[in-house]
Amino acid sequence: MRFNEFKFFRKGIIIGLLIMLLYIIWPFIDVLAYSCAFAYMALPIYNLLRKKFNKTISAGLAISIYILPIMIITIYALITFMEIVFSFNTKSIEPYIDIILKLYNTSMLKGMINEQIFTKYIDEFVKYLINQFSGKIVDMGYLLIKVIMILFITFYFLRDGDKARNLVISFVPKEYKEKMEIYLDYLHDSYKNLFISCVSLSVIITVLSYIGYLIVSVPYAELFAVMTGIFALLPILGGWMVYILIAIYYFLTHDYTKAIFMFIYGEIFLSIAPDFVIRPYLVKKEVDIHPVLVVIAFLMAPLSLGFSGFAIGPLVVGALNAFYLAKYRDRKI
């Protein structure tokens, strides 16, 4: 076999192996995207810890500083939720139950419901719930595996991120190395500011929600404010999951003024303003990214791709923005 033939054969094998590798990791592309996102979110803490500890300890502590408070808050939130449920006054929803019973007792509705048919539908519904529950157990196991993968990969992204940069540059031809270094610098700045802005926005939403909850005298205002800030990190979920439940609670307890205020305050200050005003301002302040691109990264991408879009969207937008900056706004020029 001649040298040129061997060279093409070698390249073919490498390309085939890369395609196989891509095929293997493609179902877990969201894991890699989330790992990259969380690594950049933890980067400021990691850089601060690196002044006193080595890379391994700094990466472990940086991840722990994020995980432990979330675990404590989650456990405390579950306990508080159970307390609220057990202390809930069922008399407040009795009017709604009476309306349902009156509708059922009407001759028209009662005549439409056959006891046998009703029993049949109940059995089918129970079977459906059992099937769904068994499927959810499998999904929860799959999700747990992904969470463990994310923590593991995030740790190594933090610890060995600088090595990845050098590895990429080593594969680039000599005449393009300088341009690649410029592109990677812009890429790092774009990713850093896009994801760190998420943490900053979460803190701002926590403060705004705490103010709103204090105005209406929400019990456990501090806890609900922190939960709102945590949910705000995920655009599909968002802080609305907390303030909408609070508004529903006040509606069921016939405190309509607080319910309406909580809904309007939440929509304006905890949903619309953060996504369309505060987030673009924070990103634009740190790195030159157009507000439309910010909306695409943090709103359109999650709506198109689901939960994985939260991480994949900023990665794609950041890469394209870094290419534009490196191509047309070379910092060295």
Widest CA span of the chain, in angstroms?
92
Please state, in angstroms and rounded to a whole number, the distance separating the CA atoms of residues 244 and 250: 10
Does 332 score more than 50 pLDDT?
A: no
- Cβ–Cβ under 8 Å, residues 63 and 155: yes
Calculate what percentage of the chain has a pLDDT beyond 70.
77
Sequential DSSP letters for 65-79: HHHHHHHHHHHHHHH
In whole angstroms, give the CA distance from residue 194 to residue 254.
Answer: 42
- Which two structure tokens, joined as six digits, stand for 88? 């809930």
Strands, DSSP E only, in the chain?
none
pLDDT at 36 over 70: yes
In this prediction, residue 326 has a pLDDT band, given cuts at 50, 70 and 90, of: confident
User: Phi, psi (5° rounding) for residue 285?
Assistant: -65, -35
In this prediction, residue 126 has a pLDDT band, given cuts at 50, 70 and 90, of low
Determine if residue 106 is left, alpha or beta; phi over 0 gives left, psi from -120 to 50 gives alpha, anything else beta: beta
pLDDT band at 2 (very low <50, low <70, confident <90, very high): low
Report the pLDDT averaged over residues 226-240: 76
Distances (CA, A) of 240 to 107, 219, 262, 293, 300: 41, 17, 10, 23, 18
Over residues 238-265, mean pLDDT: 88
In terms of pLDDT, which residue wins out, 100 or 268?
Answer: 268
Phi, psi (deg, nearest 5) at residue 332: -75, -25
**Is 321 within 8 Å of 293 (Cβ atoms)?**
yes
What is residue 231's predicted lDDT score, i.e. its pLDDT?
82
Could you read off the pLDDT of 132-159 as tens digits, one per residue?
A: 555 556 667 777 888 889 999 999 999 9
**Contact between 81 and 242 (Cβ < 8 Å):** no
Asked if residue 220 has pLDDT above 50, the reply is yes
- Indicate whether 333 pLDDT > 50: no
| Mean of pLDDT values over 222-232 | 86
Tens digit of each residue's pLDDT (9 = 90 or more) over 44-68:
899 999 989 999 999 999 999 878 8
**pLDDT class for 330, splitting at 50, 70, 90?**
low
CB half-sphere exposure, 198, CA atoms < 13 A: 27
pLDDT(212) > 90: yes
**Distance from first CA to last CA of the chain, Å, rounded?**
48
> What percent of the chain shows pLDDT beyond 90?
15
Query: Taking Cα atoms as reference points, which of 281, 136, 266, 271 lies closest to residue 200?
Result: 281
Residue type, 181: E
